[in-house]
Each structure stands twice: as structure tokens, then as C-alpha cells.
Amino acid sequence: MKRIAVLPAMLAAAVFAEPLTWDKLVESAKNDPRYEAAQKRSEATSGERHTKLWDKLELRYQLDGFSFAKHDFELRMSPKTFGESSADKERADAVRNYEKARFGVERSLLLFDRYERGVRYVMRKKINEINKQLLQVNADRVEVLHMKSGSASFSAEDLMSTLEKGATIKADLLSDSTALRDAELKMKIWVPDFEGVDLDSSFLPTMDELAQNLSNGVEVNENFPLVAMARGKRDSEVAQAKQDVSKGRDYISHIGIGYSLQIESLLEKYKDLDASDIYGTGAYADYKDEFQSKTGCTSALNCSATASILVPDKDNRKTADKFFVNLAFRLPFFDSGKDSDLKLQVAKLDAESDYLADVRDINQKVARLTEEVLALIGQWKVQKEFVEQVGASGFMEQFARNAGSDPLLLLRAKESALESDMKAVKLEYDIFARYLELLNYAGILARENSANHLREALK
């Protein structure tokens, strides 16, 4: 029964599945587990940090003697060291900024994967179309060569070379289909439910738009997530060093307030008793037998001996005297704070040096990518101009008159135009590959609520 129920659902999903578009591909980044994990990590550190009023709070208990008559209770607090609160706040702010920048970097990487895969699919599809046209031109050349097989101008070497070229083009077509299928499978991991791929090349910026956007270069600033991440790392390391230094400023070790409890029913003490304490109106008449056994006195007459006897005790302290205060101070007179100050200075210099090195590395990579993109666009323009020149009707007519309408020469001109077009498409892919890297470094892909990062970039 379950199989019967599942089959209509699968059929319905297949019927209503829509083609994959750029919007769906870009939007799928928000459903990626890495995106959700980075977002949760950023949200966890984005809240306000609770102020810590003390370093340690403990309840202490002391038993004075195994008679269980005396008990000391103490609430002891270890205060925070001098400067620790400000260092904790700096560290919390640095971690918050670092995780926010890290979330942007993670989002940028996820979108980079999707844009890169989509661009590869579009470019490979263009290459596949050109290869199909090249295969047709090559087939026409084979046919012409077969027709010339009996003439004096026939060249068996040209025929063999053409056949080999046809086999190479067929292999390229097979590679194209494999690459397109693999790209679809990869994109199905991100967007499971789609039927066909509708990634239009019009979604991509033109070469003129890229050249115009990059003509003035790209200035690296603190809005770049990678730069913000490096800055957060620097600030966190400096704050950590300040925390370490502040721990050496624990001039007040602890402050405690306690209460000393005595249970009178369990209190006993040794007391030297004489005859007046035992006989007559003495307060310790109950201990007469023990007194007599220790002193040998049977009455108060002529008895000057004393005996140490364990008798009940009373807690006759005032209520105020039952409380006590415990203070402990560290004497810093023989300590040297120079080592701590030196460590803090070294930590600041190391953190600043690492930060500047990261920024310099980002600057160099952005400058190199910008230069490479502009250089490749120049090469692309040369190839496209040649394709347009070959495709112009006046040029083709002039070429045909000069060639005497030789079909092989006409086919070679068409093939040359297609090969230039192929070079231009491959240059486009190289350009977009570097352009995406540039957007990744610049943090453009980290922007939220952007429908097309490629066209909105660097504006």
C-alpha cells in the first residue's frame, strides 16, 4: 500500500517540477547546512554579554571538632581583578565582530560555489553549440574532399587530417555532454526538485560592464568580510592578552563573611572543680561521684583538692560576635609588572603585524585579479572583433570573389570564425572565474537580499 501511495506523489512532483533558474540556484544557499550553522554561530555571539560581578563565589563550611558542636559557615567571594571587566568586554565585542565577518565569508563561499557552477554550465553549453557547428563544418569539408578525390587538387593528407579533426571534435562533444550532466547532478544537490536547466547567459554581466566597473580598480576597505575577519582576530588576540595581564592584578584575593554556629546541647568543656562546686549549693552537684573518685574527698570539710571534669558549656556570645569577616590581600611590593606590560606590548605588535599581513595579502590578490580580468577582456575583444569581421557580409563576399568561390576556402573561413568564437567563450569563462574570485575577496557575494551579485557588484 505504501508503494502505491508513493508512486502518485513522485509522478506529481515530476509533473509540477520547474526548470532551474538563477534565482533558485542563488536562493538555495540559505538552505545549505553550512549556512545554517554559520548563522546560528553568529546569532549565538551577537547578544549582549552578561556582566560578571565576581571571579568566583563559593560557600565554605568548617567543622570545629568531631563533637559536632561548632560549625563555621562562610560565603567567600573572589573579586574580579583590576582591568578584567574592560578586557572581557573588548574580547566579547571582538568575538562578536569576528563571527559576524565569518558568517559573511561562509555565505560568500556558498554563493561562490553556486555562481561558479552556473557560469561553468552556461559557458560549457556555449562551447557545446560551437563544437556542433565545427563538427558540421568538418563534415562538409570531408564531403567536398570526397568530391575532389579524382581531381589533381585532391590531397589525401588533407582528408586524413580532416577525419582526425572530426574525431577530436566528437570527443570534445562527448566531454561537453559529460560536463553538463555532472554540473546538473551537482546543482541537484542544492536544488533537488527541478526539471531541466534554464540558466540564461543574459543573467551574466557583459564584458563592457565588467571593464567599466573595474576600470578604476578595487579599493580594499574594512567592509571586506576577510578584512573584517582579520580585524576581529586581531582585536580578539589583543583582548586575550589584556585578560592575561589583568589576572596578575588580583590584589584582593578574597572577601568573606561567615557565621559561627555553636549547639549548646553538644557543647562541653573541661573545668577544674573544687569542693565548693560539688557540695552544698554548688552548681555541679551532679558530678559528685566523679569528683570523689578523682580527689578522695567525701565532704567539703578539709577538702582543698580540685579535679578536671568534663561539664556542659554555654554559648554566651553576643549575636554580633557570632559573625566574622575574612579578608585576604596580595602584597605586590615585591612583584614586577614590567614583564606583564612587555608581554602585552609584544602581543599587540604580533596581532597588528598579522592583521597588516592579511590585509596586504588581500590587497595583492584583489589587484592581481583585477589586472588579469582587464587583460583577458582585452584579449576577448580582439577575438570578438575578428568573429564579427568574418561574419560581416561584405567581407565574406569579397573573400569569395578573391578565392574564386573555392568551397574549401569558404569552409576554412567559417571554421576560423568559429574557432575564434570558441576562444572568446573560453576567455569569457576564464574572465568570470577570476571575476568570481574577486567578488569573493571583496565580500560582494556576502551581501544579503541581492538577486544578482554579478551585476550589482562593485557599484
- Between the CA of residue 33 and those of 37, 39, 181, 276, what are the distances in Å? 6, 10, 24, 91
pLDDT digits (tens, 9 = 90+) for 421-439: 899 999 999 999 999 999 8
pLDDT digits (tens, 9 = 90+) for 104-160: 889 999 999 999 999 999 999 999 999 999 999 888 888 877 777 766 666 677 778
pTM for the full predicted model? 0.72
Say which residue, 136 or 251, is predicted with more confidence. 136
394, pLDDT greater than 60:
no
Say which residue, 90 or 30, is predicted with more confidence. 30
How many other β-carbons are positioned within 10 Å of the β-carbon of residue 312? 13
Rounded CA gap, 107 and 109, in Å? 5
pLDDT digits (tens, 9 = 90+) for 154-184: 667 777 888 888 899 899 899 989 999 998 8
How many other β-carbons are positioned within 10 Å of the β-carbon of residue 107? 24
**CA 43, 48, 49: angle at the middle one, nearest 5?**
110
Q: How many CA atoms lie within 13 A of 53 on its CB side?
A: 2
200, pLDDT greater than 50:
yes
C-alpha torsion 449→454→458→459, nearest 10: -70
Rounded CA gap, 215 and 292, in Å? 116
Residues in CB range of 298: below 8 A, 6 or more apart: 292
Amino acid (one-letter) located at 395: F
Rounded CA gap, 171 and 177, in Å? 10
How many other β-carbons are positioned within 10 Å of the β-carbon of residue 176? 19
C-alpha cell at 361: 595579502
260, pLDDT greater than 90:
yes
